[in-house]
Structure 1
Amino acid sequence: MSLKKRGVIAASIAALAIAATALTGCASEAPANSEGETSEGPVRIGVVPGGQPYWEVFVDEAAKEGIEVEIVDFNDYPQPNPALSAGDLDLNQFQHIIYLANHNVEANDDLVALGSTVVYPLNVFSDKYDDIKDIPEGGTVAIPNDESNRARALLVLQSLGLLELKDGGSPTSGVEDVIADKSRVKVTELGAELIPASLPDVDAGVINNDYVEPAGLDFADSLGSDSAEDPAVAPYTNIFAARAEDKDNETYLKLVEIYQTNEKVQAALKDYVGDGAVLVKLPQSELAEILTQAEDDYRAGK
């Protein structure tokens, strides 16, 4: 399945690179301040990957509330947080709390979780097998190579009985924690965006929700996943992220509310992801606690 038609005015990574100087200049003219007052210009929200059609509905519904929104498309995960910190974006919405914690620690940044969106169960797919039990002894499973999703993928594979991790695993587990003589499979690390196309070359792959539908995969064909109902999955709640000085910005908080409660937005999201997402509404204070704990855990695990 090809990427769905972009439904909003959006910039590609290439366009951002070409227009970096211009974007930075715009950032000083149009951000909203901590009192919720927004100067002339749209609220720019970075997303990964581009072309998700529910954002078009979100933009339309925000406009009805008097908020102009521009969705900025990125092709991979490492880009939107630096762009947010630099002021090229006002918000981003692509990551879970663990990913943000890793970014903050590594970049010495202080981005915050403004509001919760959904939990995307992390799914295992295969081009060769229809059941997790059919994956052979010594088979190879591809997992994302970014630190937060790497650990989560390993925990998913452990929960499905494919491998065993040292000390039961943690949000900072790496491939070095796989106990080889107690594991059915080997793991190989790839960029998250590359795993769908690599399924013919491996026995299975752990694929982030963002890349499932664009790759023509169906959540109904998943061989297994983690559960949004598991308290241990709370740190993998996806969020709107903002700069620390904007955590009380009324305009930005209103956008979170629109995402969480607007029936048209929720219907469009459900239509796009099907059973691939579970809506989560956590208070900002709880998100802050989870983020702080995740940052502490990440520092301790380094």
Structure 2
Amino acid sequence: MSLKPAFLRTLALSLALGLGTAAASAETIKVGVTPGPHAQILEAAKAVAAKQGLDIQIVEFSDYVVPNTALDAGEIQANSFQHQPYLDNQVADRKFKLVSVATTVNYPMGVYSKKYKSMDELPSGASLAIPNDPTNGGRVLLLLQDKGIIKLRDGVGFKPSVADITTNPKKLKIVEIDAAQLPRSLPDVDAAGINTNYAKEAGLDPVKDPILREDPKGPYVNVIAVREQDKDKPWVAILVKSYQSPEVKKFIDDTFKGSVLASW
């Protein structure tokens, strides 16, 4: 039996309207990340979110300051690149109205060297580079204290500075450098404390190469941040569920083999 042209036109119009409605129901958000593991993991989460009607556009930033500035300004809807102490510091210092809505992964920080195979080999007066932001620089100082290499004054919390060092038996010369530039600066210093995402991007192995490494558990689990006004929006729940999915955890385990650890 043949279909009449008028019916075919009606059917075609109905299908077109149906497709238009489906397209309109898909929500698009921009999520800021730093290059390397954060971007790779979000790519995996993006595929999961797409099945739930959420289109994630990934925006890469080359430093640790702009992603929060862009989020607070509404240029992006979320970011995934920082741990809670860093976010807390940014909120306090810059009055951003940002909150974390989920934990993501942990990147145990390491101290690397092109010249020495252990911290014991570092000579007196050796140069050690650390990130120049208070949270990540302080993170290296706390690691050094935890391993008995320096001592810090009591009550410094998560943001000690070089001025808080009270005991430095090796007379280490602490050099503060932008976190993203630390891998490039590694040949020019005796050692450097480098965030895992930048270490991996530079071809370093965050499991095998550090001469000193953080314990994997601690306060430095990374988070997804959004603006306070957005925290209860439906897309936030989809983003979090997609990120903390079995598919993404498997991707992390298979891809990073212990250098990046899922928090869920």
Q: What is the TM-score with the length of structure 1 in the denominator?
A: 0.74
Q: 2:216 aligns with which of 228, 243, 246?
A: 228
Matched-pair contact (CA < 8 Å) for 2:183–2:199: yes
Query: 2:153 pairs with 166, 178, 187, which one?
Result: 166
Q: List aligned pairs for 1:230-269, cutoff 5 A.
A: 233-234=218-219, 236-263=220-247, 265-269=248-252
Read off the aligned partner of 1:43 and give its amino acid letter: I
Q: Is the 8 A contact 1:155 1:170 kept in 2?
A: no
How far 1:182 sits from its partner (Å)? 3.7
Do 1:142 and 1:190's aligned partners in 2 also have CA atoms closer than 8 Å? yes
Compare CA radii of gyration and give the structure with the larger one: 2
TM-score under structure 2 normalisation? Answer: 0.84
Cα distance in 1 between the residues matched to 2:235 and 2:168:
54
**Which amino acid in 2 is paired with 1:225?**
R
Structure with bigger helix share is 1
How far apart, CA to CA, are the structure 2 residues paired with 1:237 and 1:253?
19
The separation in 2 between residues aligned to 1:157 and 1:175, in whole angstroms, is 12
- 2:90 is aligned with 1:103: yes
The reply on whether 1:279 has 2:262 as its aligned counterpart is yes
**Structure 2 counterparts to residues 77-226 of structure 1, below 5 A:** 77-167=64-154, 169-179=156-166, 181-219=168-206, 220-226=208-214
Partners of 1:211 and 1:272 in 2: CA distance: 16
Q: Which amino acid aligns with 1:227?
A: D
Q: Which has the higher strand share?
A: 2
Gap change, CA 1:75 and 1:271, over 3 Å in 2 = farther
Q: Which of 75, 78, 89 is equivalent to 2:62?
A: 75
State the distance in 2 between where 1:61 and 1:213 align: 25
1:270, distance to aligned residue in structure 2 (A)? 2.8
Are the aligned partners of 1:53 and 1:268 in contact in 2 as well (CA < 8 Å)?
Answer: no
Quote the Cα distance in structure 1 between the aligned partners of 2:109 and 2:36: 20
Post-superposition offset of 1:56? 2.5
1:47 has 2:30 as partner: no
Instruction: Look up the equivalent residue of 2:74 and give its one-letter code.
Output: G
Root-mean-square deviation (CA, aligned residues, Å) is 2.0
The structure-2 alpha-carbon separation of the partners of 1:276 and 1:133, relative to structure 1 and needing over 3 Å to count, comes to: same
Q: Which amino acid aligns with 1:254?
A: I
Distance change >3 Å, CA 169–CA 274, structure 1 → 2: farther
How far, CA to CA, are the matches of 2:140 and 2:95 in structure 1? Answer: 25
Distance in 2 of aligned mates of 1:82 and 1:156: 28
**Superposition deviation, residue 100 in structure 1:** 0.7
For residues 36-62 of structure 1, the C-alpha deviation after alignment (integer angstroms, 9 at most, x for no partner) is xx9765111000126843332222221
Aligned length: 239
Confirm or deny: 8 A CA contact 1:115 1:253 kept in the other structure.
Answer: no
